[in-house]
């Protein structure tokens, strides 16, 4: 519905259940890929996807997803929780303010093209590292930087996530990160959610959705920050005893 992918919900939940960061991120990417398939199918029928732009940004994100998958192999759980908490806070701010993001018809300059290439690469890293898809980068980029309407930016973001999530899934799988049974269950639920979300995006009262999702995300971020601080404190106390 908002073009961010479901990882901002899935990854914190998996983390709270004790999944290590790499497993949570790689499993979540299966859900993001499944969700993007269903959403893209629905949005294409509504004729709300800018395919040319989406294809270019999607392909540009692939190198970043490869790098992100490799980096995720070595991240400490406490560091991952802090970083993901910051991503969640950013997501909440975006969701709450997205109606206020200005949309104007803009001419693509060379500087913006270069910026879009860099942003796509960075979004690919975020997508694969955190398992969230990268929509938090792509949607503001298309709306603020390129003058696209929000009605088309969120659907186009889901189309882009087809490429970002699929490449991330492939690399994570080659590295042996995901649990395929859990991934399959997440993907099944995300597929149905993608179909429903795309349909609801046409007529839901967005303000209620903003408040609900932002509140959930902020609570999840606080929990991640608390867990990370607790883990670091435990390690500190353990070192003092040694």
**Residue pLDDT, tens place only, 200-215:** 766 666 666 667 767 7
* Cα 204 to Cα 89, 170, 209, distances in angstroms: 23, 35, 8
pLDDT at residue 26, as a whole number: 92
Question: Is the model's pLDDT at 131 over the cut of 60?
Answer: yes
Q: What pLDDT sits at residue 63?
A: 94
Which has the higher per-residue pLDDT, 143 or 193?
A: 193
Distance between CA atoms of residues 158 and 155, nearest Å: 5
Q: Please give the average per-residue pLDDT across 16-45, as a whole number.
A: 89
What per-residue confidence (pLDDT) applies to 51? 92
pLDDT of residue 98: 63
**Stretch 124-135: mean pLDDT, rounded?**
84
**Cα–Cα distances in angstroms (integers) from residue 149 to residues 39, 153, 155, 230, in the given order:** 18, 6, 11, 43
User: Could you tell me the pTM of the whole model?
Assistant: 0.79
Q: Is the pLDDT of residue 229 over 60?
A: yes
Q: Mean pLDDT score of the chain, rounded to an integer?
A: 82
Q: How high is the pLDDT of residue 4?
A: 67
C-alpha–C-alpha distance, residues 123 and 132, integer Å: 10
pLDDT recorded at residue 127: 87
Nearest CA among 13, 10, 30, 14 for reference residue 165: 30
In eight-state DSSP terms, residue 4 is: S
Residue 76 above 70 pLDDT? yes
pLDDT at 107 over 70: no
User: pLDDT (tens digit, 9 = 90+) per residue, 145-193?
Assistant: 777 777 788 888 889 988 999 999 999 999 999 999 999 999 999 888 8
């Amino acid at each position: 519905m908002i073009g961010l992918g479901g990882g901002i919900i899935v990854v914190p939940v998996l983390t709270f259940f004790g999944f290590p960061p790499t497993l949570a991120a790689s499993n979540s990417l299966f859900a993001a890929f499944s969700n993007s398939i269903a959403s893209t199918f629905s949005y294409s029928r509504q004729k709300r996807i800018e395919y040319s732009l989406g294809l270019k940004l999607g392909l540009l994100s692939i190198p970043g997803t490869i790098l992100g998958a490799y980096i995720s192999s070595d991240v400490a759980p406490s560091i991952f929780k802090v970083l993901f908490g910051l991503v969640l806070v950013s997501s909440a701010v975006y969701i709450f303010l997205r109606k206020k993001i200005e949309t104007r018809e803009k001419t693509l300059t060379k500087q913006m093209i270069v910026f879009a290439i860099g942003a796509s690469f960075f979004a690919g890293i975020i997508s694969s590292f955190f398992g969230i898809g990268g929509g938090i980068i792509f949607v503001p980029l298309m709306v603020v930087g390129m003058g696209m309407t929000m009605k088309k930016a969120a659907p186009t973001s889901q189309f882009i996530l087809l490429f970002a999530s699929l490449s991330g899934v492939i690399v994570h799988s080659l590295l042996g990160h995901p649990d395929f049974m859990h991934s399959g269950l997440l993907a099944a639920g995300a597929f149905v959610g993608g179909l429903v979300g795309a349909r609801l995006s046409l007529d839901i009262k967005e303000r209620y959705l903003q408040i609900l999702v932002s509140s959930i995300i902020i609570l999840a971020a606080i929990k991640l920050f608390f867990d990370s601080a607790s883990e670091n404190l435990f390690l500190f106390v353990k070192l003092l005893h040694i």
